């Protein structure tokens, strides 16, 4: 009997989920220097800056991440802010609303590091584009290396002293109480230059100070402003070898160092100070590939004839010399149909497969989405 359609049974379908990872390296030369700032876009509202992989006026340019900062109304420096005070507060509240959520009273929560229960009132925010982060940042793969030389010397000496921020425990020590998904703690370690960090930490031993959070599904890193402050001003840097006592110069040009420069500097200026101190960023992104596998089974009695008009010559089957010959067909295409016989998907074979009453075939068709 010629079979054209065959219904799937429950054991003919299988669903799978595959996680694909891609390494994403972002060097400091791309962030600041390679294109003489031509790949850095600022906006009239002055609330964030965008970094592109090529000059942003190019048709092939892709936005890779933004930089901005926020200050909580409970920050020690909030009362002293004279530049874009409302915007810095709004950015903090906007990001906290999205990433942290509300408490039982309906108030927006603050950014709190679970490891220490320390509240971050002064933050840098780095949202990565979906082009890079995909479905999420792979846990335990994030690394952000920053220059912490005291002087604002863009050149060979700027990166002599560096600190690396990583989600070292992200693969098995992440948290799930964020409305934006899972997140991990960013820990600081000395990268190079002999910098000592609070808690007696160095690159090999000791407790690592927690200085931020990375939100994996949201693709956003939140870094405490304390990363550029010395311990005398509530930061994590213990010594800068003769550099300013209370932190790193961030290019404000106003004689202010550390995150305190945000009191009199615009968001664009502070974002530039952060961006020009990025030595490199690296992480693995994750793409979630969901698949449905259809096992198309042709028993020895199924699909031995073809519905192709060229299969017949007059009333005779072309592939049969005598009426008594075994019927034969060649599979080239598999169609998946709805219950109303509406064609939904087509799978092509790389080469025709012979089918006759002496054999059975099972074709595996996978739909990815």
Residue 196 has pLDDT above 50, yes or no: yes
Average of pLDDT values for 212-228?
A: 95
Cα(224)–Cα(125) distance, rounded to whole angstroms?
9
More confident call, 327 vs 247: 327
Question: Lowest mean pLDDT: which of 82-91, 191-200, 276-285?
Answer: 191-200
The domain ranges of the chain are 19-287, 299-368
List, for residues 22-48, the tens digit of each pLDDT value: 999 998 888 876 677 789 999 999 999
pLDDT score, position 65:
96
pLDDT score, position 205:
39
Tell me how many degrees the CA angle 232-238-239 measures, rounded to the nearest 5: 105
* Residue carrying structure tokens 């950014």: 111
* Number of C-beta neighbours around residue 369 at 10 A: 6
Confidence of residue 202 (pLDDT cuts 50, 70, 90): very low
For 243-246, the CB contacts below 8 A with 24+ separation are 243/149, 243/150, 243/151, 244/150
Q: 51: which strand partners?
A: 40, 65
Confidence of residue 246 (pLDDT cuts 50, 70, 90): low
Cα(83)–Cα(261) distance, rounded to whole angstroms?
10
Confidence of residue 369 (pLDDT cuts 50, 70, 90): confident
pLDDT score, position 236:
84
Cα(336)–Cα(365) distance, rounded to whole angstroms?
9
* H-only helix segments in the chain: 28-31, 85-99, 130-133, 267-275
- CB-based contacts of 195: which residues, under 8 Å, 6+ apart? 148, 161, 162, 163, 237, 238, 239, 240
pLDDT score, position 27:
87
Confidence of residue 97 (pLDDT cuts 50, 70, 90): very high
Average of pLDDT values for 193-202?
A: 64
143-147 and 111-113: which strand pairing? unpaired
Q: What is the pTM of this model?
A: 0.82
List, for residues 145-182, the tens digit of each pLDDT value: 998 875 554 455 677 888 999 998 777 789 999 999 99
What whole-number percentage of the chain has pLDDT above 70? 85
């Amino acid at each position: 009997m010629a079979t054209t359609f065959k219904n799937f049974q429950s054991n003919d379908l299988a669903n799978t989920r595959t996680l694909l990872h891609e390494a994403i390296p972002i060097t400091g030369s791309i962030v600041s220097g390679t294109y003489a700032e031509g790949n850095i876009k600022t906006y009239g509202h002055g609330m964030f800056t965008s970094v592109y992989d090529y000059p942003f006026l190019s048709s092939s340019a892709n936005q890779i991440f933004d930089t901005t900062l926020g200050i909580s109304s409970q920050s020690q420096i909030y009362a002293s802010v004279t530049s874009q005070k409302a915007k810095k507060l709004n950015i903090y509240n906007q990001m906290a609303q999205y990433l942290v959520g509300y408490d039982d009273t309906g108030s927006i929560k603050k950014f709190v590091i679970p490891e220490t229960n320390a509240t971050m009132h002064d933050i840098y925010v780095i949202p990565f584009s979906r082009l890079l982060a995909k479905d999420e940042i792979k846990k335990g793969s994030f690394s952000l290396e920053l220059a912490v030389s005291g002087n604002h010397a863009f050149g060979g000496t700027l990166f002599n002293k560096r600190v690396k921020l990583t989600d070292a425990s992200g693969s098995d020590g992440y948290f799930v109480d964020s409305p934006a998904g899972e997140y991990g703690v960013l820990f600081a370690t000395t990268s190079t230059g002999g910098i000592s960090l609070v808690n007696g930490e160095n690159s090999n031993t000791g407790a690592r100070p927690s200085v931020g959070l990375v939100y994996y599904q949201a693709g956003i890193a939140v870094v405490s402003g304390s990363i550029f402050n010395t311990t005398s001003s509530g930061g994590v840097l213990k010594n800068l070898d003769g550099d300013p006592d209370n932190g790193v110069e961030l290019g404000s040009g106003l004689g202010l160092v550390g995150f305190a420069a945000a009191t009199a500097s615009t968001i664009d200026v502070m974002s530039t100070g952060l961006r020009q101190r990025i030595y490199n960023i690296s992480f693995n992104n994750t793409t979630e590939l969901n698949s449905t596998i259809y096992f198309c089974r042709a028993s020895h009695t199924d699909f031995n004839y073809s519905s192709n008009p060229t299969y017949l010559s007059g009333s005779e089957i072309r592939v049969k010399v005598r009426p008594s010959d075994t019927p034969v067909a060649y599979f080239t295409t598999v169609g998946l149909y709805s219950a109303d016989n509406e064609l939904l998907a087509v799978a092509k074979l790389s080469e025709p497969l012979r089918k006759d009453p002496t054999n059975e075939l099972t074709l595996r068709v996978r739909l990815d989405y």
